[in-house]
Amino acid sequence: MEAGYREELLAALRLQLEWGVDEALEEAPIDRFAVRAPQPLAMPQPDAPPVLATPAVKAAARSLLPMVPPPAAAAAALAAAAQDLAGLKAAIAEVDSPLRDTATNLVFSDGVAESGLMMVGEAPGADEDRLGKPFVGVSGQLLDRMLASIGLNRAENFYLTNILPWRPPGNRTPTDGEITLFLPFLMRHIEMVRPRHLVLLGGVSAKALLRAKDGITRLRGRWHQVETPAGTLPGLATLHPAYLLRTPSAKREAWSDLLLLRRTLNGDAAPQ
């Protein structure tokens, strides 16, 4: 054996030991670098029976594929493994999403988690992305003023998060794929916080949590039943504050939703 070739083989052996190989499975070594003789192309035989995609054939084909979970399944497993809010935030940061590459900060939540009232918006905008907190831009300031008028403020008696934790570039509407990817984290978030009431701010939040096809103008103004891992929770759908900034005449409806929220929190209206 040539000295150079022997050195290469010894180096390969050392590498295997470093990688933790401690057992030989075959009596004789197999040279995996040996060039495989080209295989003749299998030509279909005219009288050979066609291979039908029967369930058994499909199952066999599936078993040959590498067992890589689809992104949403991997995200759901990550969310389920998180044990507390800090762990959930860290798990979200691990999700491989193009949104993570374009955003600056992960926006997780703000407010009092134990308050019993959890509001869910759509996605961070530019200000939220810069500061890493939900609803801190102009629409957030409007939301704060509206909620203050019914005695709610985030330092004391409500909690806030979004459907998406990262800002979509240019504030575009979240795609269905993005919502599906991050919904397991929101569900786990709700499971940890265990609110008594949810408020769904805007169409994206309402549609995602109610799995509804209707738009927000049909969904708003009433309590819905939201299926969550913490059980079925009452969720009030209302208009998004950014929409109210663009359409001030809609503030009338938003005000009526807020009064319904206040009456329900006071125990003067049933949340159904």
When asked if residue 111 is in the footprint of ligand URA (CB under 6 A), the reply is no
| Window contacting ligand URA (CB under 6 A); options: 23-31, 122-130, 172-180, 222-230 | 122-130
CB of 158 to ligand URA, least distance (A): 14
Closer CB to ligand URA, 137 or 271, in the complex: 137
β-partners of residue 31 are none
CB of 173 to ligand URA, least distance (A): 11
Outline where DSSP puts E strands in 61-165: 110-111, 117-121, 159-162
Q: Give whichever of 111 and 125 is closer to ligand URA, judged by the CB atom.
A: 125
Of 91, 106, 123, 244, which one interacts with ligand URA (CB under 6 A)?
Answer: 123
Please, what is the end-to-end C-alpha distance for the chain in angstroms? 84
Distance from C-alpha of 106 to C-alpha of 122, rounded to nearest angstrom:
14
For ligand URA, the binding residues in 217-246 under the rule CB under 6 A are: 242
Amino acid at position 84, single letter: D
CA angle 248, 223, 172 (to 5 degrees): 50
Q: How many residues bind ligand URA (CB under 6 A)?
A: 13
How far apart are CB 235 and ligand URA at their closest, in Å? 16
Q: Under DSSP, is residue 200 helix (H, G, I), strand (E, B) or coil? A: strand
Q: CA 111, 173, 114 angle in degrees (round to 5)?
A: 15
Per-residue binding letters, 135-174, with ligand URA (x by CB under 6 A):
x-x-xx---------------------x------------
CA atoms within 13 A on the CB side of 84: 1
Interface stretch with ligand URA, choices 58-66, 97-105, 131-139, 226-234 (CB under 6 A): 131-139
CB 179 within 8 A of CB 164: yes
Q: Which residues contact ligand URA by CB under 6 A?
A: 121-125, 128, 134-135, 137, 139-140, 162, 242
